[in-house]
Amino acid sequence: MSDGVSAPLREIKALLEDAEIPYMIVGSFASMVHGEPRTTQDLGVLVPCSSAS
């Protein structure tokens, strides 16, 4: 994973974890992390929503 891709992920991860927001990385970026090369460079993040938000 190139630093151009991993730097935004590290920043998003830190922000979500500091705010104690549960999250899941999804889509083509997640498949790249698991060894399936993809040409897209988007990053999908799922966060739960609630009526309290």
Over residues 6-25, the pLDDT tens digits come to 788 889 999 999 999 999 98
SS3 51: coil
Q: Phi and psi at residue 45, in whole multiples of 5°?
A: -130, 125
Residue 44's H or E segment, with its range, is strand 44-46
| 28 has a pLDDT exceeding 60 | yes
What is the value of pTM for the model shown? 0.63
Q: What is the pLDDT of residue 43?
A: 79
| Mean pLDDT of all residues belonging to the chain | 80
